[in-house]
Each structure stands twice: as C-alpha cells, then as structure tokens.
A and B are shown apart, each in its own frame.
Chain A
Amino acid sequence: MVSPGLDLELSFSQALQGFGFSPEVARLLWLPLPMLLVLVAAVVGVLVSVWLERKISAAVQQRIGPEYAGALGVLQPLADGLKLLVKEDIIPARADSLLFTLGPVLVVVPVIISWLIIPFGQNLLISNVGVGIFLWISFSSIQPIGLLMSGYASNNKYSLLGGLRAAAQSISYEIPLALAVLAIVMMSNSLSTVDIVGQQTGAGILSWNIWRQPVGFLIFWICALAECERLPFDLPEAEEELVAGYQTEYAGMKFALFYLAGYINLVLSAVLVSVLYLGGWGFPIPVEWLAGWLNQPIDAPVVQVITGTVGIVMTVLKAYLLVFVAILLRWTTPRVRIDQLLDLGWKFLLPLSLVNLLVTAALKLAFPVAFGG
C-alpha cells in the first residue's frame, strides 16, 4: 500500500559498506546516530517550548516577555539553561544524597527513552518496535518512582507531600490514558505507532482518528496534561501550598533535569496526540494525491525527500499547535483541588474511557470498514 519511503539506515549502511566496513560494524556505527539526533531534537524542542511559554504567557498578560537575548529573546531559554548548569549543586545536609541524586535521573530517563517510538515518517523513527505505544505507557509509569524518591530523599515535608501527590496523580490518570490508547489500538489492530499512523493516511484529514475518537481525544489530552503536571493539574508543585513540591530542595542541574523532564514530556505528549489522533506525519491532503496531480511517480527521489520533509514538518507543526494550546491553558485556567483532581480521574474519566472503549468495540463490530475491522 504505502511506499516504503526513505530508508536512511539502509542508505547509511550501504554507504559504509562501500567504504569496506562489515554490515555488523555498519549497524553498530548507525545505532547511536538516531539516538543522538533524537536527544538533540528533544532538547531543542524543550528550548523552543520554554521560549514559547515565556512569550505566550507574556502575551496573555499583556507584557512583552524576554526580548534582549537574541531576536525576540529566542536565546533566553539557552541563557536559562546555562545559568542552571553553572549553579552550585546543593544537597541538603540531612537529605539522603544517593536517592536525592537518583530521583531526577529516574524522572528524565524514561521520558527520553519514550522518544524511541515517535515516528516522523514511514521509516523516520528510531525503532519500530512491535509493542510501540505500549512502551511509552509502561515507561511513563516509572516516573512516579523517581518523584517519590526525590520527595522522600529531600527530607522535607513539602517535598514528600509533593512526591506523594505526583505519584497519586500519575497513577490515577494513567488508567484512563491507557484505555483511551487501547481504543485507538483496537481500531488499528496494532500497537506500533507506524501502523497507527498508517491507518489514518487513507483520505488525508478526513481519515484522522480525531473524527472517530473525539471523546478519546479529549480524555487523552486531559490525562496527558495531568501526567505532565501542567496547570490546571499542577498540584504536586502548587506554590501556594507546597512551596514547589518535590522540587523544593533542588537547585542547579538536578533542578534542571526536572525542568527538562517536564517540558520533554509535554512535547512528547503533544507529539503522541498528533500521532494517535491527528494523523501523525500525514499532510491534510495525502501526498500521494498531490504527487498524482503533479504527475510525479511516488517513488521518485525528489518526491521521497519532499514526503519525508513534509512528514517531519507536519509532525512538529501539529505537536507545537498542541503545545500552544497547553500553554494557553496553563495561563488561563485556575488550579483544581486535590480531591477534585482525583474525583475527575476516578469517577469521571475512568468510567468515560471504559464506555468509550466499549462503544469503539461495538462500532468496530458494526462498521468494520470505518473502524478498522
């Protein structure tokens, strides 16, 4: 059906073999490259979102925001990062130094690993593992352990409370989140992110999952915001109650890791929403149709490069649209109370997502054509 598209690994491996390397060595040399690329992409993504956050919040509050570091202040996040990097690394005297250090690491590593499965095109992802989206769900469940760890190790009651709140929140919203994803998986008959996007490519924007799963989309988005601890769900670090929650005692690079994890997670969630509900790398009008109208063969190199570029641009564009929405939400909505938060998760979203799952299953049985029979 869909053309294989760009296969960078194959080209790279062939190029290296041309230089006389064995296929195994070529693969070994290839392996770190996409990882590095994704790491860089994730960090750049964070810098962009931090800048966006600052600018948009300023716009919402009718300020100007950062403007001196670079044009329109684009270098401001870089300056922030540099500041955190060179700050003194403080470990409180009565804290548990080992767990105190390990906590932020455990928070940031699973988020970065989850980038494994983000597709930017048919072959533009690090690893098309069969468990696909399930990998992200299970790795995001490790995060609460890191939060509990840093909350406990700080030896500070605000930190502990923040850590407990974060873990409770994370567990509560993971279930509806997973159920929303399950409805999607049921339609695409696969856990793989590539297959999930592939199932949405038939008719451009009309075949996106958001039309078939509007409720699932809302559930997923709400839960993703809660998992990222964004307002209106940022109780774990609610300044007015808990100083800064589990981050209270952290400074310097360790604090930066939390900061980084938060934003990487936000971008990751946004990308996943676009993958699951907004057609991933797909252009609103299928590229194949465009190529057909322009009388270009779909496997011509130029078309392939254009398709790949369009895929990356579309994914990033959709993701940043969602990041924009998240930032607007943060600066316009008030925070909920902890009991309201848990009620929303357990008494509303969980039953709703179960119903959504059952309705999807029923629709799949009734209309196999439209719901991936």
Chain B
Amino acid sequence: MTIATTTELICFLVLSAVVVIGALGVVLLSNIVYSAFLLGGVFTAVAGLYLLLNASFVAMAQILVYVGAINVLILFAIMLVNKREDLKAIANLTTRRAVSAGVCAGLLALLVRVVVTTPWSLPGPPAVGEEATARIGEHLFTDYLLPFEVASVLLLMAMIGAIVLARRDVLATDVVTGEVADQGLIEKARTPLLMNRAE
C-alpha cells in the first residue's frame, strides 16, 4: 500500500465517521442549535468525500450551497425565533422512540443487506478530474438543459411564493366591489384541524 492510498483511506474513514456521527447528532440532540451546527459539519464532511472522489467542483458547490447558504439560513431561522418554549410532554415517549428506532434499524439492516449483495459494476467510469467543471457545463447545456432551465422556474416561483406568504399587505378589500375581503371564505367558525385532532 502506497502512502497515497493510505492517506486516502484514513481520510475516507475520518470523513465517514464525521458524517455518520454528525448525522446521528443532528437527529438525536435535543438542542436544535447544536443540531443545526452539526448539520453544517455533516455537509462539510460530505464535501470532503466528494474531494476524495476527485470531484472538486462538486465539493466546492456543496460547501457554497449547503454550508454557506442553506445551513446559514437554517441557523438564521432558528436564532430569529429562538423562543425557549416548554413543549407539552408526549405520552409514551419512550415507547415511541423505541418503535421508531426499531423501524430505522430494520431499514438500515435491509439497506445494508441489499447493498452488500448487489453486484455493483465496479470500478465506475474514471474521474474526469480538473476538466470536470467544463464537462458539467457542457452537460448542463445539452442533455440536462431542460432540468437546468426548469430549476430556474422552480426557484423563481419558490421565491415569489415565499414573498407572497411572508409579506403583510394582503388586500383588505375586494378590488371590484370594495367589500371587506373574507379570508376564511368557507367554514369560518371552524378551529384548526390539529385542535380537532386533539379532542
């Protein structure tokens, strides 16, 4: 084993451990701020895995998009609404946790079993390396042009929708008749569905 492969193996093990432990931490920790920070760590470690696969552009994009944008926004949201609220105790919490842990463990066992028994066609195509950036661009403007363009529609629409939902100035009156608008319009007197459930 050469020095290069040893280094690669060590890096892989460390990164994988960070990913797995970090992801468990995201799910299991009760402090949501810790979860959010750990999520950033997981994203970064995944970027490291991409680097090991010789996909540096993807790795950098992962850091820029997931760590730099998504994770920061998650943290923002958490810190802006950082209300310490004591939630109502949920009945049979231990049983519920045990059940969901069992389901997850079962799913994991199934996946591991299936993945191990599958004859993967290894090794895959060789890594493109430094040329990858140009090749990604080429694919984005040829066979993945349609999804690429639709993604822009998706983002535009999501942005508009977010603004519509977040802004305050909903029309108070009907533009045509000038009557007071009726936001509930149907079944005004009902309580939210969740409350119905709780009864």
B-binding residues in A (CB < 8 A) = 24-25, 28, 99, 129-131, 134-135, 137-142, 144-145, 148-149, 151-152, 160, 163-164, 167-168, 171, 174, 191
Contact = CB atoms under 8 A, between A and B. Distances in A.
Interface in B18-76: 33, 37, 40, 44, 56-57, 60-61, 63-64, 67-69, 71-73, 75-76
A138 B132 contact: no
5 contacts: A24-B2, A129-B56, A131-B56, A134-B60, A171-B69
A130 B130 CA distance: 5
A134 B59 CA distance: 10
Given A25-B3, A148-B75, A174-B68, 19 more contacts: A24-B4, A131-B133, A137-B64, A138-B61, A138-B63, A138-B68, A141-B64, A141-B67, A141-B72, A142-B67, A144-B68, A145-B67, A145-B71, A148-B72, A149-B37, A151-B79, A164-B79, A167-B76, A168-B76
Interface string B158-183: 00000000000000000000000000
Nearest to B2: A24
B185 interface: no
A152 B64 contact: no
Contacts of B56: 129-131, 135
Closest 9 CB pairs of A and B: A141-B68, A130-B130, A138-B64, A138-B63, A138-B60, A131-B56, A131-B60, A134-B60, A148-B75
B3 A28 contact: yes
A227 to B, nearest CB: 12
Contacts, number: 75
Given A131-B56, A148-B72, A149-B37, A160 B79 contact: yes
Contact of B57 (A99, A130, A149, A164): A130
Residue from A144, A160, A174 whose CB has the most chain B CB atoms within 10 Å: A144
Nearest to A153: B33
B80 interface: yes
Contacts of A148: 72, 75-76, 79
Contacts of A145: 37, 40, 67, 71-72, 75
Residue from A25, A142, A151 whose CB has the most chain B CB atoms within 10 Å: A142
Nearest to A137: B64
Nearest to A170: B72
Contacts of A174: 68
A24 B1 CA distance: 12
